[in-house]
Chain A
Amino acid sequence: MVNFTILQVVLLTLLAFIKHVDYYGIPMIFVNYAVFWGLITGVVMGDWKTGLVIGGTIQLMQLGVAGFGGSSIPDYGTMAIIATAYGVTLGSDTGLAIGLPVGMLGIQLDVVAKILNGFVVEKSQKFCNEGKFNQMNAILWVCPALFGLCAALPVFVSVTLGQPAVNWLLEVMPQWFLSGLTLAGKMLPAVGIAMLLRYMPTAKYFQYLLAGFFLSAFLNVPIIGAAIVGVALAIAFYQRAERDTELAAHASADAFIGEDE
Protein backbone atom coordinates (compact mmCIF):
# COMPACT_ATOMS: atom_id res chain seq x y z
CA MET A 1 0.00 0.00 0.00
CA VAL A 2 1.18 3.50 -0.77
CA ASN A 3 0.11 6.64 1.03
CA PHE A 4 1.51 9.99 0.02
CA THR A 5 1.56 12.85 2.49
CA ILE A 6 -0.03 16.14 1.48
CA LEU A 7 3.40 17.71 1.30
CA GLN A 8 4.59 14.97 -1.06
CA VAL A 9 1.54 15.41 -3.28
CA VAL A 10 2.14 19.17 -3.48
CA LEU A 11 5.85 18.77 -4.17
CA LEU A 12 5.37 16.09 -6.83
CA THR A 13 2.70 18.12 -8.61
CA LEU A 14 4.85 21.24 -8.48
CA LEU A 15 7.85 19.28 -9.74
CA ALA A 16 5.86 18.03 -12.73
CA PHE A 17 4.73 21.59 -13.48
CA ILE A 18 8.28 22.95 -13.35
CA LYS A 19 9.47 20.03 -15.45
CA HIS A 20 7.16 20.81 -18.32
CA VAL A 21 7.74 24.56 -18.28
CA ASP A 22 11.45 23.74 -18.47
CA TYR A 23 10.79 21.26 -21.30
CA TYR A 24 9.05 23.84 -23.48
CA GLY A 25 11.68 26.52 -23.12
CA ILE A 26 12.02 28.10 -19.69
CA PRO A 27 14.92 27.41 -19.40
CA MET A 28 15.15 24.12 -21.34
CA ILE A 29 17.85 22.64 -19.12
CA PHE A 30 16.58 19.13 -18.38
CA VAL A 31 14.34 18.89 -21.48
CA ASN A 32 12.21 16.10 -19.96
CA TYR A 33 15.26 13.81 -19.72
CA ALA A 34 14.09 10.99 -17.46
CA VAL A 35 17.38 10.38 -15.66
CA PHE A 36 17.37 13.90 -14.16
CA TRP A 37 13.68 13.93 -13.24
CA GLY A 38 13.92 10.48 -11.69
CA LEU A 39 16.87 11.66 -9.62
CA ILE A 40 15.15 14.89 -8.54
CA THR A 41 11.95 13.01 -7.64
CA GLY A 42 14.08 10.55 -5.70
CA VAL A 43 15.53 13.43 -3.70
CA VAL A 44 12.02 14.75 -2.98
CA MET A 45 10.87 11.28 -1.88
CA GLY A 46 13.97 10.83 0.27
CA ASP A 47 15.53 8.04 -1.79
CA TRP A 48 17.66 9.50 -4.56
CA LYS A 49 19.19 6.18 -5.50
CA THR A 50 15.89 4.53 -6.46
CA GLY A 51 15.04 7.68 -8.41
CA LEU A 52 18.34 7.50 -10.25
CA VAL A 53 17.90 3.82 -11.15
CA ILE A 54 14.32 4.35 -12.37
CA GLY A 55 15.29 7.52 -14.23
CA GLY A 56 18.17 5.66 -15.89
CA THR A 57 15.89 2.82 -16.94
CA ILE A 58 13.42 5.21 -18.56
CA GLN A 59 16.26 7.24 -20.08
CA LEU A 60 17.23 4.12 -22.03
CA MET A 61 13.71 3.89 -23.47
CA GLN A 62 13.95 7.57 -24.34
CA LEU A 63 17.23 7.33 -26.27
CA GLY A 64 16.97 8.89 -29.69
CA VAL A 65 13.38 10.00 -29.16
CA ALA A 66 12.86 13.74 -29.48
CA GLY A 67 9.80 15.76 -30.43
CA PHE A 68 10.51 17.92 -33.47
CA GLY A 69 8.38 20.48 -35.18
CA GLY A 70 5.59 20.13 -32.66
CA SER A 71 5.20 16.37 -32.93
CA SER A 72 3.93 14.79 -29.73
CA ILE A 73 5.94 12.04 -28.08
CA PRO A 74 5.46 10.02 -24.86
CA ASP A 75 6.09 12.03 -21.72
CA TYR A 76 9.14 10.24 -20.33
CA GLY A 77 9.75 12.85 -17.63
CA THR A 78 6.28 12.40 -16.13
CA MET A 79 6.81 8.66 -16.39
CA ALA A 80 9.98 9.06 -14.32
CA ILE A 81 8.27 11.20 -11.66
CA ILE A 82 5.35 8.79 -11.15
CA ALA A 83 7.48 5.65 -11.40
CA THR A 84 9.87 7.05 -8.79
CA ALA A 85 7.10 8.29 -6.49
CA TYR A 86 5.62 4.78 -6.38
CA GLY A 87 8.89 2.91 -6.89
CA VAL A 88 10.44 4.22 -3.67
CA THR A 89 7.99 2.10 -1.65
CA LEU A 90 6.94 -0.58 -4.13
CA GLY A 91 10.22 -1.29 -5.89
CA SER A 92 11.36 0.01 -9.25
CA ASP A 93 9.69 -2.63 -11.46
CA THR A 94 6.25 -1.96 -10.01
CA GLY A 95 6.89 1.79 -10.10
CA LEU A 96 7.71 1.53 -13.80
CA ALA A 97 4.57 -0.49 -14.49
CA ILE A 98 2.51 2.36 -12.99
CA GLY A 99 4.46 5.19 -14.60
CA LEU A 100 4.56 3.83 -18.14
CA PRO A 101 0.82 4.07 -18.99
CA VAL A 102 0.55 7.58 -17.54
CA GLY A 103 3.51 8.72 -19.58
CA MET A 104 1.87 7.40 -22.72
CA LEU A 105 -1.35 9.27 -21.89
CA GLY A 106 0.60 12.51 -21.57
CA ILE A 107 0.69 12.76 -25.35
CA GLN A 108 -3.01 13.54 -25.53
CA LEU A 109 -2.91 16.47 -23.10
CA ASP A 110 -0.04 18.02 -24.99
CA VAL A 111 -2.24 18.30 -28.07
CA VAL A 112 -4.97 20.05 -26.06
CA ALA A 113 -2.48 22.62 -24.73
CA LYS A 114 -1.23 23.38 -28.23
CA ILE A 115 -4.80 23.97 -29.41
CA LEU A 116 -5.59 26.26 -26.44
CA ASN A 117 -2.34 28.15 -27.02
CA GLY A 118 -3.69 29.10 -30.42
CA PHE A 119 -6.45 31.15 -28.77
CA VAL A 120 -4.05 32.78 -26.30
CA VAL A 121 -1.71 33.84 -29.07
CA GLU A 122 -4.60 35.22 -31.11
CA LYS A 123 -5.66 37.32 -28.13
CA SER A 124 -2.09 38.52 -27.61
CA GLN A 125 -1.85 39.73 -31.19
CA LYS A 126 -5.19 41.48 -30.76
CA PHE A 127 -3.81 43.34 -27.73
CA CYS A 128 -0.83 44.29 -29.86
CA ASN A 129 -3.01 45.83 -32.55
CA GLU A 130 -5.00 47.73 -29.91
CA GLY A 131 -1.76 49.18 -28.60
CA LYS A 132 -2.04 47.36 -25.27
CA PHE A 133 1.54 46.19 -25.32
CA ASN A 134 1.81 45.19 -21.67
CA GLN A 135 -1.23 42.93 -21.91
CA MET A 136 0.14 41.53 -25.16
CA ASN A 137 3.20 40.24 -23.31
CA ALA A 138 1.45 39.31 -20.07
CA ILE A 139 -1.21 37.05 -21.57
CA LEU A 140 1.43 34.92 -23.29
CA TRP A 141 2.39 33.57 -19.85
CA VAL A 142 -0.82 31.54 -19.95
CA CYS A 143 0.85 29.31 -22.57
CA PRO A 144 3.72 27.92 -20.45
CA ALA A 145 1.25 27.50 -17.58
CA LEU A 146 -0.94 25.33 -19.83
CA PHE A 147 2.04 23.18 -20.74
CA GLY A 148 2.94 22.93 -17.05
CA LEU A 149 -0.53 21.57 -16.33
CA CYS A 150 -0.04 18.89 -19.00
CA ALA A 151 2.39 17.19 -16.63
CA ALA A 152 1.10 18.48 -13.28
CA LEU A 153 -2.44 17.13 -13.79
CA PRO A 154 -1.52 13.52 -14.60
CA VAL A 155 0.95 13.45 -11.72
CA PHE A 156 -1.56 14.98 -9.30
CA VAL A 157 -4.27 12.51 -10.31
CA SER A 158 -1.86 9.57 -10.17
CA VAL A 159 -0.71 10.32 -6.64
CA THR A 160 -4.14 11.24 -5.23
CA LEU A 161 -7.17 9.68 -6.94
CA GLY A 162 -4.93 7.15 -8.59
CA GLN A 163 -3.82 5.64 -5.31
CA PRO A 164 -6.78 3.31 -4.73
CA ALA A 165 -6.69 2.35 -8.39
CA VAL A 166 -2.98 1.65 -8.17
CA ASN A 167 -3.38 -0.39 -5.02
CA TRP A 168 -6.17 -2.39 -6.64
CA LEU A 169 -4.11 -2.83 -9.78
CA LEU A 170 -1.20 -4.14 -7.76
CA GLU A 171 -3.39 -6.86 -6.31
CA VAL A 172 -4.74 -8.05 -9.65
CA MET A 173 -1.78 -7.33 -11.92
CA PRO A 174 -0.65 -10.60 -13.47
CA GLN A 175 3.01 -11.58 -13.56
CA TRP A 176 3.12 -11.71 -17.36
CA PHE A 177 2.14 -8.05 -17.46
CA LEU A 178 5.05 -7.04 -15.26
CA SER A 179 7.66 -9.17 -17.04
CA GLY A 180 6.22 -8.03 -20.37
CA LEU A 181 6.78 -4.41 -19.37
CA THR A 182 10.34 -5.20 -18.32
CA LEU A 183 10.97 -6.72 -21.75
CA ALA A 184 9.31 -3.71 -23.41
CA GLY A 185 11.74 -1.51 -21.49
CA LYS A 186 14.61 -3.45 -23.02
CA MET A 187 13.16 -3.32 -26.54
CA LEU A 188 12.06 0.33 -26.62
CA PRO A 189 15.59 1.76 -27.03
CA ALA A 190 15.54 0.05 -30.45
CA VAL A 191 12.64 2.27 -31.53
CA GLY A 192 14.48 5.39 -30.38
CA ILE A 193 17.66 4.34 -32.12
CA ALA A 194 15.76 3.55 -35.32
CA MET A 195 14.16 7.00 -35.11
CA LEU A 196 17.60 8.54 -34.69
CA LEU A 197 18.92 6.61 -37.68
CA ARG A 198 16.04 7.91 -39.74
CA TYR A 199 17.22 11.48 -39.19
CA MET A 200 20.81 10.61 -40.02
CA PRO A 201 22.41 9.82 -43.38
CA THR A 202 22.30 6.14 -42.44
CA ALA A 203 21.95 4.64 -45.88
CA LYS A 204 24.80 6.74 -47.27
CA TYR A 205 27.28 6.14 -44.46
CA PHE A 206 26.25 2.67 -43.31
CA GLN A 207 29.90 1.64 -42.89
CA TYR A 208 30.34 3.78 -39.76
CA LEU A 209 27.31 2.14 -38.15
CA LEU A 210 28.90 -1.24 -38.83
CA ALA A 211 32.19 -0.10 -37.31
CA GLY A 212 30.47 1.03 -34.11
CA PHE A 213 28.45 -2.19 -33.91
CA PHE A 214 31.60 -4.27 -34.31
CA LEU A 215 33.40 -2.37 -31.55
CA SER A 216 30.68 -3.13 -29.05
CA ALA A 217 29.40 -6.54 -30.16
CA PHE A 218 32.77 -8.21 -30.68
CA LEU A 219 35.24 -6.17 -28.62
CA ASN A 220 32.93 -4.99 -25.81
CA VAL A 221 34.20 -1.43 -26.18
CA PRO A 222 32.12 0.90 -23.95
CA ILE A 223 30.25 3.88 -25.44
CA ILE A 224 32.94 6.42 -24.58
CA GLY A 225 35.50 4.22 -26.35
CA ALA A 226 33.31 4.05 -29.44
CA ALA A 227 32.90 7.84 -29.27
CA ILE A 228 36.69 8.26 -29.37
CA VAL A 229 36.93 6.10 -32.49
CA GLY A 230 33.97 8.06 -33.88
CA VAL A 231 35.80 11.37 -33.35
CA ALA A 232 38.86 9.97 -35.14
CA LEU A 233 36.73 8.87 -38.09
CA ALA A 234 34.90 12.21 -38.11
CA ILE A 235 38.17 14.17 -38.24
CA ALA A 236 39.37 12.05 -41.15
CA PHE A 237 36.04 12.59 -42.90
CA TYR A 238 36.15 16.36 -42.31
CA GLN A 239 39.68 16.68 -43.67
CA ARG A 240 38.72 14.76 -46.76
CA ALA A 241 35.61 16.91 -47.27
CA GLU A 242 37.63 20.12 -46.93
CA ARG A 243 40.16 18.89 -49.48
CA ASP A 244 37.39 17.90 -51.88
CA THR A 245 35.79 21.35 -51.60
CA GLU A 246 39.13 23.00 -52.33
CA LEU A 247 39.78 20.75 -55.30
CA ALA A 248 36.30 21.45 -56.62
CA ALA A 249 36.90 25.19 -56.26
CA HIS A 250 40.16 24.90 -58.19
CA ALA A 251 38.56 22.78 -60.85
CA SER A 252 35.76 25.27 -61.47
CA ALA A 253 38.26 28.14 -61.49
CA ASP A 254 40.31 26.31 -64.13
CA ALA A 255 37.21 25.64 -66.14
CA PHE A 256 36.36 29.35 -65.99
CA ILE A 257 39.81 30.35 -67.21
CA GLY A 258 39.53 27.78 -69.95
CA GLU A 259 36.28 29.29 -71.12
CA ASP A 260 37.80 32.73 -71.12
CA GLU A 261 40.57 31.83 -73.52
Chain B
Amino acid sequence: MENENITAVAEGKPSGYKVTKKDLRNANWRWLMSVCTFNYQTQQGASVAYALSPVLRKIYTNDEDYKQALNNHFRYYNTQPWLAAIILGACVAMEERDGLAAADAVQDLKIGTMGPLAGVGDSLLMTMIPTIMGSIAAYMAIEGNPVGAGIWFALILAIFWVRMHALEFGYKQGVKLVTDFSEKLPNLTAASVLGLTVVGCLIASVIGVTCPISFSFGDVAMEIQPLLDKILPAMIPAAITGSAYYLLTKKNASMTALILVVIVLAMVASAAGILA
Protein backbone atom coordinates (compact mmCIF):
# COMPACT_ATOMS: atom_id res chain seq x y z
CA MET B 1 0.00 0.00 0.00
CA GLU B 2 2.88 2.33 -0.55
CA ASN B 3 0.98 4.31 -3.17
CA GLU B 4 -1.83 5.13 -0.78
CA ASN B 5 -0.69 8.72 -0.54
CA ILE B 6 -0.66 9.15 -4.28
CA THR B 7 -4.03 7.71 -5.22
CA ALA B 8 -6.81 10.15 -4.70
CA VAL B 9 -9.26 9.29 -1.98
CA ALA B 10 -12.75 8.33 -3.06
CA GLU B 11 -14.92 11.23 -4.17
CA GLY B 12 -16.49 13.24 -1.36
CA LYS B 13 -14.70 11.24 1.31
CA PRO B 14 -12.34 12.86 3.82
CA SER B 15 -8.67 12.07 3.46
CA GLY B 16 -8.54 10.54 6.92
CA TYR B 17 -6.33 13.42 8.02
CA LYS B 18 -6.39 13.97 11.77
CA VAL B 19 -6.98 17.66 12.47
CA THR B 20 -4.38 19.02 14.88
CA LYS B 21 -4.53 21.68 17.55
CA LYS B 22 -2.32 23.81 15.31
CA ASP B 23 -4.83 23.61 12.43
CA LEU B 24 -7.62 24.74 14.73
CA ARG B 25 -5.60 27.61 16.20
CA ASN B 26 -4.69 28.69 12.70
CA ALA B 27 -8.34 28.64 11.60
CA ASN B 28 -9.27 30.59 14.74
CA TRP B 29 -6.76 33.34 13.88
CA ARG B 30 -7.86 33.39 10.26
CA TRP B 31 -11.47 33.77 11.43
CA LEU B 32 -10.49 37.27 12.64
CA MET B 33 -11.34 38.15 9.03
CA SER B 34 -14.99 37.70 10.15
CA VAL B 35 -16.85 40.95 9.40
CA CYS B 36 -14.02 42.30 7.22
CA THR B 37 -15.46 40.74 4.05
CA PHE B 38 -18.98 41.89 4.92
CA ASN B 39 -21.11 42.43 1.82
CA TYR B 40 -24.84 42.67 1.21
CA GLN B 41 -25.05 39.33 -0.62
CA THR B 42 -23.31 36.73 1.52
CA GLN B 43 -22.38 38.89 4.54
CA GLN B 44 -19.63 36.96 6.39
CA GLY B 45 -19.65 33.91 4.11
CA ALA B 46 -16.32 34.58 2.38
CA SER B 47 -14.60 34.95 5.75
CA VAL B 48 -15.71 31.46 6.73
CA ALA B 49 -14.18 30.09 3.53
CA TYR B 50 -11.03 32.13 4.21
CA ALA B 51 -10.76 30.88 7.80
CA LEU B 52 -11.31 27.21 7.06
CA SER B 53 -9.52 26.94 3.71
CA PRO B 54 -6.19 25.55 5.07
CA VAL B 55 -7.76 22.91 7.30
CA LEU B 56 -10.27 21.93 4.62
CA ARG B 57 -7.38 21.52 2.15
CA LYS B 58 -5.99 18.86 4.49
CA ILE B 59 -9.34 17.15 4.86
CA TYR B 60 -10.07 17.17 1.10
CA THR B 61 -7.01 16.23 -0.93
CA ASN B 62 -9.11 15.99 -4.08
CA ASP B 63 -9.41 19.42 -5.80
CA GLU B 64 -13.05 18.98 -6.82
CA ASP B 65 -14.12 17.99 -3.31
CA TYR B 66 -12.18 20.89 -1.87
CA LYS B 67 -13.92 23.34 -4.20
CA GLN B 68 -17.30 21.92 -3.27
CA ALA B 69 -16.56 22.22 0.43
CA LEU B 70 -15.36 25.80 0.01
CA ASN B 71 -18.42 26.76 -2.01
CA ASN B 72 -20.55 25.36 0.77
CA HIS B 73 -18.88 27.79 3.18
CA PHE B 74 -18.93 30.74 0.77
CA ARG B 75 -22.70 30.81 1.21
CA TYR B 76 -24.59 33.38 3.27
CA TYR B 77 -23.49 33.54 6.90
CA ASN B 78 -24.01 36.22 9.49
CA THR B 79 -23.87 36.09 13.27
CA GLN B 80 -21.82 37.34 16.20
CA PRO B 81 -18.29 36.37 15.08
CA TRP B 82 -16.78 35.59 18.50
CA LEU B 83 -19.38 32.92 19.22
CA ALA B 84 -19.41 31.76 15.60
CA ALA B 85 -15.89 30.36 16.11
CA ILE B 86 -17.41 27.63 18.32
CA ILE B 87 -19.76 26.58 15.51
CA LEU B 88 -16.97 26.63 12.92
CA GLY B 89 -14.98 24.29 15.18
CA ALA B 90 -17.91 21.90 15.28
CA CYS B 91 -18.15 22.10 11.46
CA VAL B 92 -14.50 21.10 11.13
CA ALA B 93 -15.15 18.07 13.34
CA MET B 94 -18.11 17.03 11.21
CA GLU B 95 -16.29 17.39 7.90
CA GLU B 96 -13.22 15.63 9.24
CA ARG B 97 -15.36 12.60 10.05
CA ASP B 98 -17.84 12.50 7.19
CA GLY B 99 -16.40 14.64 4.41
CA LEU B 100 -18.84 16.14 1.94
CA ALA B 101 -21.56 13.86 3.25
CA ALA B 102 -21.69 16.29 6.16
CA ALA B 103 -22.15 19.34 3.92
CA ASP B 104 -25.89 19.64 4.48
CA ALA B 105 -25.60 19.00 8.20
CA VAL B 106 -22.89 21.66 8.37
CA GLN B 107 -25.19 24.15 6.65
CA ASP B 108 -28.06 23.25 8.96
CA LEU B 109 -25.89 23.71 12.00
CA LYS B 110 -24.56 27.06 10.81
CA ILE B 111 -27.93 28.45 9.76
CA GLY B 112 -29.72 27.05 12.79
CA THR B 113 -27.37 28.64 15.30
CA MET B 114 -27.00 32.01 13.55
CA GLY B 115 -30.05 33.54 15.24
CA PRO B 116 -29.49 32.38 18.83
CA LEU B 117 -25.76 33.22 18.71
CA ALA B 118 -26.43 36.67 17.35
CA GLY B 119 -29.09 37.21 19.99
CA VAL B 120 -26.84 36.28 22.89
CA GLY B 121 -23.65 37.72 21.41
CA ASP B 122 -25.07 41.05 20.27
CA SER B 123 -26.91 41.78 23.47
CA LEU B 124 -24.37 40.40 25.94
CA LEU B 125 -20.96 40.85 24.28
CA MET B 126 -21.53 43.75 21.92
CA THR B 127 -23.99 45.84 23.93
CA MET B 128 -24.21 44.98 27.62
CA ILE B 129 -20.47 44.77 28.36
CA PRO B 130 -19.62 47.91 26.34
CA THR B 131 -22.47 49.76 28.05
CA ILE B 132 -21.47 48.83 31.58
CA MET B 133 -17.69 49.03 31.09
CA GLY B 134 -18.04 51.98 28.71
CA SER B 135 -19.98 54.06 31.21
CA ILE B 136 -17.48 53.32 33.97
CA ALA B 137 -14.54 54.09 31.66
CA ALA B 138 -16.20 57.22 30.24
CA TYR B 139 -17.06 58.63 33.64
CA MET B 140 -13.51 58.31 34.86
CA ALA B 141 -12.12 59.50 31.51
CA ILE B 142 -14.10 62.75 31.63
CA GLU B 143 -12.26 63.53 34.85
CA GLY B 144 -8.95 62.67 33.22
CA ASN B 145 -8.65 59.33 34.97
CA PRO B 146 -7.57 56.42 32.71
CA VAL B 147 -8.20 53.66 35.30
CA GLY B 148 -11.69 52.82 34.01
CA ALA B 149 -10.40 52.44 30.46
CA GLY B 150 -7.62 50.26 31.86
CA ILE B 151 -10.07 47.93 33.62
CA TRP B 152 -12.12 47.65 30.44
CA PHE B 153 -8.99 46.90 28.40
CA ALA B 154 -8.03 44.13 30.82
CA LEU B 155 -11.47 42.57 30.37
CA ILE B 156 -11.16 42.90 26.58
CA LEU B 157 -7.82 41.04 26.65
CA ALA B 158 -9.29 38.27 28.82
CA ILE B 159 -12.18 37.89 26.38
CA PHE B 160 -9.69 37.86 23.49
CA TRP B 161 -7.83 34.96 25.07
CA VAL B 162 -11.08 33.01 25.35
CA ARG B 163 -12.00 33.92 21.76
CA MET B 164 -8.72 32.51 20.52
CA HIS B 165 -9.62 29.12 21.99
CA ALA B 166 -13.27 29.09 20.92
CA LEU B 167 -12.82 27.19 17.64
CA GLU B 168 -10.82 24.43 19.34
CA PHE B 169 -13.50 24.27 22.04
CA GLY B 170 -16.22 23.90 19.43
CA TYR B 171 -14.24 21.16 17.65
CA LYS B 172 -13.94 19.15 20.87
CA GLN B 173 -17.51 19.66 22.04
CA GLY B 174 -19.00 19.18 18.61
CA VAL B 175 -22.70 19.29 18.02
CA LYS B 176 -23.53 18.11 21.53
CA LEU B 177 -22.61 21.47 22.94
CA VAL B 178 -24.97 23.31 20.65
CA THR B 179 -27.98 21.27 21.73
CA ASP B 180 -27.03 21.63 25.41
CA PHE B 181 -26.62 25.32 24.87
CA SER B 182 -30.06 25.81 23.36
CA GLU B 183 -31.62 24.06 26.36
CA LYS B 184 -29.82 26.35 28.76
CA LEU B 185 -30.64 29.46 26.75
CA PRO B 186 -33.73 30.53 28.76
CA ASN B 187 -31.61 30.78 31.90
CA LEU B 188 -29.50 33.42 30.20
CA THR B 189 -32.38 35.78 30.86
CA ALA B 190 -30.67 36.17 34.23
CA ALA B 191 -28.05 38.24 32.41
CA SER B 192 -30.83 40.56 31.25
CA VAL B 193 -31.82 41.07 34.88
CA LEU B 194 -28.33 42.35 35.63
CA GLY B 195 -28.38 44.41 32.46
CA LEU B 196 -31.72 46.07 33.18
CA THR B 197 -30.67 46.98 36.72
CA VAL B 198 -27.52 48.62 35.44
CA VAL B 199 -29.33 50.38 32.60
CA GLY B 200 -31.87 51.75 35.07
CA CYS B 201 -28.98 53.22 37.01
CA LEU B 202 -27.44 54.59 33.80
CA ILE B 203 -30.60 56.51 32.89
CA ALA B 204 -30.38 58.47 36.11
CA SER B 205 -26.62 59.02 36.03
CA VAL B 206 -25.40 59.26 32.42
CA ILE B 207 -27.89 61.70 30.90
CA GLY B 208 -26.93 64.98 32.53
CA VAL B 209 -29.70 67.14 31.04
CA THR B 210 -31.24 69.76 33.32
CA CYS B 211 -33.71 72.62 32.99
CA PRO B 212 -32.14 76.05 33.51
CA ILE B 213 -35.41 78.03 33.48
CA SER B 214 -35.96 80.30 36.42
CA PHE B 215 -38.73 82.80 37.11
CA SER B 216 -38.20 85.85 39.19
CA PHE B 217 -41.00 87.45 41.17
CA GLY B 218 -39.56 90.74 42.26
CA ASP B 219 -36.65 89.77 44.48
CA VAL B 220 -37.53 86.10 44.72
CA ALA B 221 -36.06 83.89 42.00
CA MET B 222 -37.66 80.53 41.46
CA GLU B 223 -35.71 77.82 39.71
CA ILE B 224 -37.45 74.93 38.02
CA GLN B 225 -34.82 72.22 38.38
CA PRO B 226 -34.82 71.92 42.22
CA LEU B 227 -38.59 71.73 42.02
CA LEU B 228 -38.41 68.88 39.52
CA ASP B 229 -35.83 67.11 41.66
CA LYS B 230 -38.23 67.16 44.61
CA ILE B 231 -40.90 65.42 42.57
CA LEU B 232 -38.63 62.88 40.89
CA PRO B 233 -34.87 63.11 40.59
CA ALA B 234 -33.62 62.55 37.04
CA MET B 235 -37.10 63.25 35.70
CA ILE B 236 -35.87 64.85 32.45
CA PRO B 237 -33.41 61.99 31.62
CA ALA B 238 -36.19 59.45 32.27
CA ALA B 239 -38.56 61.39 30.00
CA ILE B 240 -36.02 61.64 27.16
CA THR B 241 -35.13 57.95 27.37
CA GLY B 242 -38.80 57.01 27.54
CA SER B 243 -39.61 59.05 24.43
CA ALA B 244 -36.66 57.58 22.53
CA TYR B 245 -37.73 54.05 23.51
CA TYR B 246 -41.28 54.80 22.42
CA LEU B 247 -40.14 56.11 19.04
CA LEU B 248 -37.82 53.14 18.46
CA THR B 249 -40.25 50.40 19.43
CA LYS B 250 -43.72 51.73 18.73
CA LYS B 251 -42.98 54.08 15.83
CA ASN B 252 -40.16 52.01 14.30
CA ALA B 253 -37.91 55.05 14.05
CA SER B 254 -34.41 54.28 12.77
CA MET B 255 -31.59 55.02 15.13
CA THR B 256 -29.78 57.29 12.68
CA ALA B 257 -32.92 59.38 12.19
CA LEU B 258 -33.40 59.55 15.94
CA ILE B 259 -29.82 60.73 16.49
CA LEU B 260 -30.30 63.50 13.94
CA VAL B 261 -33.60 64.51 15.54
CA VAL B 262 -31.93 64.68 18.94
CA ILE B 263 -29.13 66.90 17.60
CA VAL B 264 -31.62 69.31 16.01
CA LEU B 265 -33.81 69.32 19.13
CA ALA B 266 -30.75 70.00 21.26
CA MET B 267 -29.86 73.02 19.10
CA VAL B 268 -33.37 74.42 19.46
CA ALA B 269 -33.79 73.65 23.16
CA SER B 270 -30.38 75.07 23.95
CA ALA B 271 -30.98 78.27 21.96
CA ALA B 272 -34.38 78.71 23.61
CA GLY B 273 -32.86 78.09 27.03
CA ILE B 274 -35.27 75.28 27.88
CA LEU B 275 -32.67 72.59 28.47
CA ALA B 276 -28.99 72.60 29.37
Q: Which residues between 30 and 47 of chain A lie within 8 Å of chain B, taking CB atoms? A: 30-31, 33, 35-36, 38-39
A184 sits at the interface (CB 8 A)? yes
Determine if A57 is an interface residue (Cβ-Cβ < 8 Å): yes
Closest residue of chain B to A138 (Cβ to Cβ) is B50
Give a binary string over A200-221; 1 marks a CB under 8 Å from any B CB, 0 the rest: 1110011011111111111001
Whether B138 pairs with A188 at a CB distance below 8 angstroms is: no
Interface residues of B in 130-152 (CB under 8 A from A): 130-132, 134-146, 148-149, 152
B-chain residues with CB within 8 Å of residue A193 when the two chains form the complex:
131, 199, 202-203, 206-207, 241, 244
Chain B residue numbers with a CB within 8 Å of A195 are 244, 248, 255
One of A5-13, A129-137, A151-159, A161-169 at the interface: A129-137
CB distance from A235 to the nearest CB of B (A): 7
Contacting pair A241 B138 (CB below 8 A) = no
Q: Which residues of A contact B187 (CB under 8 A)?
A: 238, 241-242, 245
B254-271 contacts to A, CB under 8 A, are 255-256, 258-260, 262-263, 265-271
Q: Which residues of B contact A144 (CB under 8 A)?
A: 33, 36-37
> Is B39 part of the binding interface, using a Cβ–Cβ cutoff of 8 Å?
yes
Task: List residues of chain A with CB within 8 A of the CB of B135.
Answer: 59-60, 63, 223
Within 8 Å CB of A222, what residues of B? 205
B43 in the interface (beta carbon within 8 A): yes
Q: Kindly name the residue among B148, B197, B203 whose own CB sees the greatest number of chain A CB atoms within 10 A.
A: B197
User: Please, which residues of chain B bring their CB within 8 A of the CB of A107?
Assistant: 256
* Complex CA distance for A105 and B262, rounded to whole angstroms: 16
Contact of A128 among B70, B132, B262 (CB under 8 A): B70
Contact of B156 (CB < 8 Å), options: A29, A124, A184, A201: A29
Residues of A within 8 A of B139 (CB): 56, 223
Q: Which of B153, B186, B206 contacts A189 (CB 8 A)?
A: B206
**Residue numbers in B under 8 Å from A226 (CB-CB):** 197-198, 200-201
**Is A173 located at the chain interface by the 8 A CB criterion?**
no
- The reply to whether the CB of B78 lies closer than 8 angstroms to some CB of chain A is yes
Docked-complex contact B234 and A137, CB < 8 angstroms? no
Known: A59-B137, A140-B50, A195-B255. A31 touches B81 (CB 8 A): no
Chain A: number of interface residues, binned into ranges: 35 or more
B residues less than 8 Å from A57 (CB atoms): 138, 141-142
Contact of A230 among B148, B153, B195, B244 (CB under 8 A): B195
Give the complex CA separation of A147 and B49 in angstroms: 19
User: Which of B39, B49, B146, B232 is close to A217, meaning CB atoms less than 8 Å apart?
Assistant: B232
Tell whether, in the assembled complex, residue A183 and residue B276 are in contact, meaning their CB atoms are under 8 Å apart. Answer: yes
Bound Cα distance from A31 to B143, whole angstroms: 23
Residues of chain A with a CB closer than 8 A to B126's CB? 31, 66, 68
Indicate if the CB atoms of A137 and B262 lie closer than 8 Å.
Answer: no
Chain B residues, CB < 8 A from A227:
132, 194, 197-198
- Hey, which chain B residues are within 8 Å of A212, CB to CB? 196-203
Contact B200 A216 (CB under 8 A): yes
Q: Are A200 and B123 in contact (CB under 8 A)?
A: yes
Which interface residue of A117, A125, A189, A202 has the most chain B CB atoms within 10 A? Answer: A189
- B20 CB to nearest A CB, Å: 20
Which residue of chain B has the shortest Cβ distance to A189 in the bound complex? B206
Task: Render B32-63 as a binary contact track against A, CB cut-off 8 A, 1 for contact.
Answer: 11111111111101110110010001000001
On chain B, the residues within 8 Å of A180 by CB distance are: 263, 266-271
What is the bound-complex CA distance between A210 and B71, given in angstroms? 50
With a cutoff of 8 Å between Cβ atoms, the chain B residues found around residue A65 in the complex are 255
Binding site for B on A (CB under 8 A): 21, 24-31, 33, 35-36, 38-39, 48-49, 52-53, 55-57, 59-60, 62-66, 68-74, 100, 104, 107, 114-115, 117-118, 120-122, 124-125, 128-129, 131, 133, 136-137, 140, 143-144, 147, 176-177, 179-184, 186-202, 205-206, 208-218, 221-224, 226-227, 229-231, 233-235, 237-238, 241-242, 245
Known: A59-B134, A209-B197. 18 other contacts (CB 8 A): A52-B149, A62-B130, A66-B126, A70-B40, A122-B41, A125-B49, A129-B71, A136-B70, A143-B33, A179-B276, A181-B263, A181-B267, A183-B267, A187-B265, A188-B263, A199-B123, A217-B232, A227-B194
The 4 closest A-B CB pairs, nearest first, are A212-B200, A56-B141, A230-B197, A226-B201
